[in-house]
Structure 1
Amino acid sequence: METQNTDKIQRDGGLPSPWQAELTGPALKTGFNNSQRFDVIVVGGGITGLTAALSLQQKGKQVLVLDAHRPGYGTTGGTSAHINTFADTTYQEAESGFGEEGAQLFADAVNEGHAVIKALIDQHNITCDYAEKNGYVYAEDEDQVKQLEDIYNSALKVGVDMAYETEVPTPVPFQQAVIIPGQAQFHPIKYLQGLLTAFEAAGGVVMENVLADDVSKEDETLTVKAGELTFTAGAVIYATHIPPKITSFSFRCAPYRSYVLGVKLKDANYPDALIYDMQEPYHYVRTHEIDGEQLLIIGGNDHKTGHDDPEKAFEDLEKYTRQYYNVSSVKYRWSAQYYIPADGFPYIGQMPEAPEGVYCATGYNGNGMMLGSIAGKILSDLIATGESKYKEIFSPARIKPITGFTEFIKENADVAYHFVADRFNIDETESLQGLAPGTGKVVEVDGEKIAAYRDEAGKIHALTPVCTHAACIVNFNDAERSWDCPCHGARYDIDGKVITGPATRGLAKIGN
């Protein structure tokens, strides 16, 4: 089977997405006077951080962006790049939890997120393969037909254009479907680089490979520490997918991974649309041209981070794809992380546990392109004027357990289980000799538990298995060769370096 070019940049601790080809070349090198005080420091160079940074810079603020790796390395670089006017939290669920006004505000935010992307593309002449497409959602059985009816009715109620449709460009048999015009797709890294170019042209400053590990406040000055480096500002934005360290968001947002394939077909029957089924978890499909070659982009098989088997998730997704499509080869496979909020709405605004002037945005579910874009605008408005029409509904300080209370209890019972059970469920007879090249496992050696990985040359990479975020025990992700925390989604490479937060410190090495 033909597979992806693994010489391309490794993203998010493992397999690169096709968009990552645009991240080749030298890293950004933007210098500044270390004694300079900025108006705003944005921690994180994904779609949220750069949207906010560019907006604030254009409003006359002096902005510094710090990225632990390089812009586009994380979830923005791993997205399947669907731009929707509907969301994983349905408008029916939104109305149930937040009332009619809340559902309408949520719909407005999703639509405005799309509008932000389109406006920035037009304003800065960003070439990023942006194309508007019809979207389709289809039901395969009677239960799904009823769910689809609810989605349809609630979408119309908040003004989302949706109609029943009998024809869908999918080979999957279905009973009922809807069409949603005005959806879109793009190349997320080309878009992000367009934002970076505009941000730097406006005088913004970027630093890569800087992992911010603490924020403190004295008088009216916020200090961001990153190892031996310090930076000062009047406001700080955590655009890090989830805020670092242990916060309330550690227990209000559950980490999940979603899996994606880039597939070449034999018959060239690529759908010219964005297509979604209603399975749990659902599949999502579209087409994109990469390096002059059409590819089917198909994703799904989501599961909680650090749980289940990532390699099996890829295998099941490929099996599903081959069942319905005439596959020639799998050119790419990758996964990305997202966080499901307890009550269905993102958290955007002043961070309640932090000093005044520290903002965050998290909990986008699977809709990071739209919600990340509107989050950037909301944060910019809050810092510049203190106001946004979404200020209250998305407030990180809100207490709204009703909608997601059952899920909230389930997720945190799972976290509590892993705090305790993982420490006692390791096979006591496991030894390092049982590790095959390219595999890893938490094992017992001389009475001590270690996270051990044997590389292809036979060398053992040994780490403490205790996540530095909240002391859960990490699990090995065989598909991406990373150590993933089953509690809050922190991830580490085989040498213990932090790949994604909320951890800010790596796993300690054992031995040489």
Structure 2
Amino acid sequence: MVSPWQTSITSVTARQSGAQKVYDCLVVGAGITGLTAALTLQQAGKNVVIAEAQQAGFGTTGGTSAHINTFADTTYAEAESAFGEDGAQLFAQAIREGYDLIVAWQKDCDFEVKPGYLYAETDEEVKLLDEIYQGAAKAGVAVAYADKVPTPVPFKKALLWPGQAQFHPLKYLQNLQKNFLAGGGLILENTRIESAESKDGLHMANGIQARAVIYATHTPPNINLFNFECAPYRSYVLAVKLKNGKYPDALIYDSQEPYHYVRTHVIGGEELLLVGGLDHKTGHEDAEKAFAGLEKYVRAYYNVSSVKYRWSSQYYVPVDGLPYIGQMPLAAKGIYCATGYNGNGMMLGTVAGKILADLILGKANRYEKLFSPSRIKPIDSFSEFVKENADVAYHFIADRINVHETDSLKRLQPGTGKLVEVDGKKVAAYRDDTGEIHALSPVCTHAACIINWNGAEKTWDCPCHGARYDINGKVLTGPATRDLTIIDTHEN
């Protein structure tokens, strides 16, 4: 299951080899953070190599719903509560800087400026809306109350965010990629970096030597501090065709929990309505149910003729609300990371690339302290920290008990996967459309949690830290770096 962005472009050919040398920086990950950082460093005269486990744009950047906002999922009121008034204002400025960098670098990527609307349908949501307004205004973000919203959904109150935007994320990414390659940059696709060894100020990974390393992955690989400070979430999107051609010319969001949003985009010459939301923690809910919920929602309010695309993507929610960008804690000096963008990866991923490049270049950056991965956690985030990690502990234990016992795999229908027990052995089993069984160990290779089946995308997802595997056990996304063990069911 891929996004329309991934089906509507032709890949840029990445250079796959180059002379062995010591690079100024190895960037792990060819998404929006990695390419922004790499291109910024290159333009400052540095020799940079990018290593990508799949292909450029494979992960979150290729699955985004491509909103470019001046507001964030962590509200400015929440940021002020945790980091003070100055912190909230800096956060707002970082969001804006990410927006402005995209504006400056965008070219031939369907970039369009649109108004944004956030509306409330209940009295409780109205209270939240007022808090959002006050926090944004205090942080210096342009916002106003609106009497009208281009939505068929009845509402009680609404906010207008002027000057929001949208784009085709992979066209944008390809422009960065072409510029990076034209400047002599090297991109190694299908190159998974599992770890780096450090000695005498140099870092070695997969035969690549570099003076600095940036983990521009959605979360750094292997077990690290961020497994306890970021929770993985999946978000769902449909692209639908409308019978009446009445597509809203705006970015529109409701205040429900979980929320919905809609916007319009022309993809492959066809005007489509994108409707998204119904986010949940990775591996915790039924993905098919989420897609069904989105379709029910959009059909209730819009005259839908057909569903053209459906896809989902993953992001990480930080316990204290702000991303972690900078020197990686408990790692050798010169190893950097960026994670925890919540649902705002386009703006925060872009500004993260700039921040990381500045740190490597020895330039002062005003966001360094606010987003430091080693920052002392505010008290307000402690309860969220406890809740998320209690949830991880629950799934580590409970999912081992709740495996349905069976003495046979014969009941497994084609195209379905399930955790079963065969001859006393727990198995993650999938039967493909030809009837062949793909049997795997159900133990995630990252931190030994039990994986769950994602029927919508035909993947095995870890409910603890968000690692995902295909039906053959191959790692799709980290923090896992090792594939699942294949089990030979013919032995039974």
TM tier relative to shorter chain: over 0.9
Q: TM-score, normalised by structure 1?
A: 0.94
For residue 92 of structure 2, give the secondary structure of its aligned residue in structure 1. Answer: helix
1:118: which partner in 2? 103
Distance 1:431 1:151 in 2: 54
The partner residue of 2:137 within 152, 156, 159 is: 156
8 Å CA contact retained: 1:438, 1:453: yes
Deviation of 1:428 (Å): 2.0
Give 2:335's aligned amino acid. Answer: V
1:53: which partner in 2? 38
The partner residue of 1:247 within 208, 224, 232 is: 224
Which structure 1 residue ranges, 4+ long, deviate > 6 Å from structure 2?
none
Deviation of 1:25 (Å): 5.0
1:102: which partner in 2? 87
8 Å CA contact retained: 2:458, 2:471: yes
1:19: which partner in 2? 5
8 Å CA contact retained: 1:113, 1:374: yes
For residue 223 of structure 1, give the secondary structure of its aligned residue in structure 2. Answer: strand
Q: Equivalences for 1:86-485 in 2 at 5 Å?
A: 86-121=71-106, 126-225=107-206, 230-429=207-406, 431-485=408-462
Give 1:251's aligned amino acid. Answer: F
For residue 404 of structure 1, give the secondary structure of its aligned residue in structure 2. Answer: helix
Distance 2:172 2:434 in 1: 39
1:7: which partner in 2? none
Deviations 1:332-382 (A, max 9, x none): 000000100000000000001211100000000000000000000000001
Distance 1:19 1:428 in 2: 41
Bigger Cα displacement from structure 2, 18-27 vs 427-436: 18-27
Deviation of 1:399 (Å): 2.1
For residue 443 of structure 1, give the secondary structure of its aligned residue in structure 2. Answer: strand
8 Å CA contact retained: 1:93, 1:403: no
Distance 1:252 1:267 in 2: 46
Tell me, yes or no, if structure 1 residue 31 matches structure 2 residue 17: yes
Deviation of 1:24 (Å): 4.0
For residue 380 of structure 2, give the secondary structure of its aligned residue in structure 1. Answer: coil
User: Number of paired residues?
Assistant: 489
Give 1:31's aligned amino acid. Answer: S
Bigger Cα displacement from structure 2, 35-44 vs 382-391: 382-391
Give 1:475's aligned amino acid. Answer: N
Give 1:290's aligned amino acid. Answer: I
Distance 2:268 2:202 in 1: 47
Distance 2:408 2:453 in 1: 16
Distance 1:488 1:27 in 2: 32
Distance 2:104 2:200 in 1: 38
Give 1:224's aligned amino acid. Answer: A
Bigger Cα displacement from structure 2, 399-408 vs 311-320: 399-408
Distance 1:46 1:256 in 2: 18
Distance 2:126 2:401 in 1: 45
RMSD: 1.1
Deviations 1:399-455 (A, max 9, x none): 214232222211111100111111111112363112100011111111111111000
Give 2:93's aligned amino acid. Answer: D
1:10: which partner in 2? none
Deviations 1:273-309 (A, max 9, x none): 0000000011111100011110001101111000110
For residue 61 of structure 1, give the secondary structure of its aligned residue in structure 2. Answer: coil
2:487: which partner in 1? 510
8 Å CA contact retained: 1:344, 1:403: no
Give 1:89's aligned amino acid. Answer: T
8 Å CA contact retained: 2:27, 2:214: yes
Distance 2:122 2:404 in 1: 43
8 Å CA contact retained: 2:12, 2:178: no
Deviation of 1:510 (Å): 1.3
Q: TM-score, normalised by structure 2?
A: 0.98
1:71: which partner in 2? 56
Distance 1:25 1:58 in 2: 23
8 Å CA contact retained: 1:81, 1:188: yes
Give 1:101's aligned amino acid. Answer: D
